[in-house]
Amino acid sequence: MMKTLFAQELQVGDQAPNFSLQDQHGQTHNLADYRNQWIVLYFYPKDDTPGCTKQACEFRDDYKALRANNTQVIGISVDNTESHAEFAEKYSLPFPLLADIGGNIAKQYQAFINLGVIKLAKRHTFIIDPEGIIRMVYRKVDVSSHSDQILSDLNKLQS
């Protein structure tokens, strides 16, 4: 039974599931909008919580280096656009935070947890290449070093 569950998880080499979600400014983003760019698609549990803030600020601090490598950072959680707007403004986050209110996209990426009354995105990250193929999957993330790890892995993938 467990083997079946893991066999369904997205793997390196799989086509990344499409998404169409609004960001903190009400603008809709689709996976296809980022063709010809690398994407760091990261799912996180909740806006303005300690771990999520640390992770977002690490990506913010490395954003210029990521953009210099033709890479776009995109955050996704089940929080709404208003919550994302407050979070992004408070910490000067320069990248889109997408509102996956029903968790449908998080479910497609196996990054959704339903605890009854509480529904959250799991802290998972995917590096997606310019053709929409998943090149790295991170299911265990250390928020204090994750952005450095992403930069290092992107350099390897892009060389």
Which residues are known catalytic residues?
52
CA atoms within 13 A on the CB side of 147: 22
Q: Distance between CA atoms of 153 and 103, rounded to whole angstroms?
A: 28
Largest CA distance in the chain: 45
Beta-strand relationship, 71-77 and 28-30: unpaired
Token code pair at residue 115: 């605890």
Q: DSSP H helical segments within 39-117, as ranges? A: 50-61, 63-68, 81-90, 104-108
Q: What is the DSSP letter of 69?
A: T
